[in-house]
Amino acid sequence: MAMNGPYPVHNVTDESVAEAAALLVAGQLCAFPTETVYGLGGNALSEQAVRRIYAAKGRPADNPLIVHVADEAAARAVAGEWPRAAEILAARFWPGPLTLVVRRGAAIPALVSAGSETVALRVPAHPVAARLLRACGLPVAAPSANRSEQLSPTTAEHVRRGLPGVLVLDGGPCRLGIESTVVDLTREPARLLRPGALPLSALRSVLGEVALPGPPMAEGPARSPGMRTRHYAPRARLVLTPEGSDPTRLGGAGKLGVLMIEGRGWTANAARDGGDRLVVESMPDDPQGYGADLYAALHRLDDAGVETIVVHLPDRGETWLAICDRLRRAAA
């Protein structure tokens, strides 16, 4: 196998996991599956490796990274303090799609956290991520494995296309498909920074009160830059409309993509609505199923070469919060 890229996508074997772990130990990067989206990992203890992550993604240095660890003990080891809320949430939801922001310990370079005194920590549930973390024995800084501002990857093929030259462990399509929920535990009450795959109701059931994020900021340094408005965007222009409305009234002369929900109002009729001009993605009418396929569906619409994507926004309250958040950012 070639020592310097492009690396192929690898099936998960003892050898490929060992090779990916060796890259991490050597300060290089590799991509790996988590239950939410694929991550682009580097040694979180090495400033040089962390620099490589920002460079590979084209990510502004003011957008901090999530550090992935094997278990709660490994999280405590790199945290500056471990509040009671972290203990409770870790016991209940780790491994899983929940990221805890706590005070940063001295071992983690400030660059990981974009200079902040805090660090975001998560124990992923995907067995391949768990294997890789055990094999390398390091905390692994890993943002989503896409170029900055582009769609998050939920398959190894998405990663390969966006970041050719990076070794990718192929763990199949991500089960949840929406990034982890990020919660700030450095304040009381805890505050939601990014809605995600773990529902807000689950956090509240354990913590009681959880404050909501402030309004999204379009520009400038953000306290949690995932809160910047534009993010997670496909190449096509995205237009949000209420569920059930006729998408053919929107969009320009070019090919039109439609992201609709099965059985909700408007139904595609290709003959009536313009034949080849329309590409329809019909999504499941439940937030788990919808979330699991959201990025993949947007990738498919981009691949089909649509100019505009009309989205039936499932604005139906808290259980659809993370999905509507991603759709609004993609449309911003």
Give the footprint of Mg ion on this chain (CB under 5 A): 144
Tell me the two tokens of residue 177: 């498909």
Are the C-beta atoms of residues 36 and 176 closer than 8 Å to each other? yes
- Closest distance to ligand TXA from the beta carbon of 145 (Å): 7
Minimal distance, residue 224 CB to ligand TXA, in Å: 4
Report yes or no: 96 and 32 within 8 Å, Cβ to Cβ.
Answer: no
Q: State the minimum distance, in angstroms, from the CB of residue 148 to Mg ion.
A: 8
What is the full DSSP assignment across 150-167? BPPP-SHHHHHHHSTTS-
Q: Which does 299 bind (CB under 5 to 8 A by kind): ligand TXA, Mg ion, none?
A: none
E strand segments, 228-306: 237-242, 256-261, 278-283
Contact predicate 160/53, CB 8 Å: no
Q: Work out how close the CB of 152 gets to Mg ion at its nearest, in angstroms, rounded to a whole number.
A: 5
Which of Mg ion, ligand TXA, none binds 192 (CB below 5-8 Å, type-dependent)?
none
Please report the sign of the dihedral spanned by the C-alpha atoms of residue 176, residue 310, residue 283, residue 323.
Answer: positive
Binder of residue 34, out of ligand TXA, Mg ion, none (CB less than 5 to 8 A by kind): ligand TXA
CB of 293 to Mg ion, least distance (A): 18
Pick 193 or 258: Cβ nearer Mg ion: 193
CB of 196 to Mg ion, least distance (A): 11
Helix, strand and coil content of the chain, in percent to the nearest 5, comes to: 35, 20, 45
Question: Which spans of this chain sit near ligand TXA (rule: CB under 6 A)?
Answer: 34, 36-37, 39, 63-66, 97, 99, 101, 113, 116, 118-120, 122, 124, 142-144, 179-180, 182, 193-194, 224-226
- Which C-beta is closer to ligand TXA: that of 16 or that of 180? 180
Tokens of 130: 């768990």
Nearer to Mg ion, 118 or 146 (CB): 146
Phi/psi of residue 6, nearest 5 degrees? -75, 135
Which of ligand TXA, Mg ion, none does residue 113 bind to, with CB < 5 to 8 Å depending on kind?
Answer: ligand TXA
Is the CB of 64 or the CB of 257 nearer to ligand TXA? 64
- The answer to whether residues 329 and 151 touch, using CB atoms and an 8 Å cutoff, is no
CA separation for the pair 256, 236 (Å, rounded): 9
